Amino acid sequence: MIPERLKKIVTLLRDKTSEKKAIWNKTSGQDEYKLQIGEGSSIVVSFDYGNYNSEYITISIFNKNGDMVERYDNENEQDEDSSKLLWSFHKAARDSYYKVEETMEHLLNEISKQDVVGIKEEKKIIPPAMLGDDDDLPF
């Protein structure tokens, strides 16, 4: 079960993120997001693959020196509410970083006001005479 203090932090940050009051950054990890807080402390939320095709969320908290001071994941979590909280937290961070809500709203507006949607992409054919000796051939 997720420790109570961490649960409060995650809940507050998820809510702030949903209210667009948190600024998330992408880390070098795949599907991993970082929130810098105050004097250098940070929290990282990441999606991981475990054993036997399991998927889980990891929360890591770092102090201002960059030392990890707390780490929790729901890989073996038995409490469904804790697991749902971590999944919703990761989704909020991911959606915030990628601006999912804004993108969906933009698409709805554009699709609604246009009779025909989409742009045909033209294939670009490079004549053989334009290829140099060092260019890779497409086959």
**What is the residue whose two structure tokens read 């033209």?**
122
Nearest alpha-carbon partner for 90 in 120, 60, 115, 129: 60
The conformation of residue 3, written as its DSSP 8-state character, comes to: -
The pTM of this model reads 0.75
- Annotated domain spans of the chain: 4-113
> In the prediction, which pLDDT does 62 show?
92
Average pLDDT, the chain: 86
Positive or negative, the CA dihedral 99, 39, 28, 46 is negative
- Read off the pLDDT of residues 71-110 as tens digits, 9 standing for 90 and up: 998 877 788 888 899 999 999 999 999 999 999 999 999 9
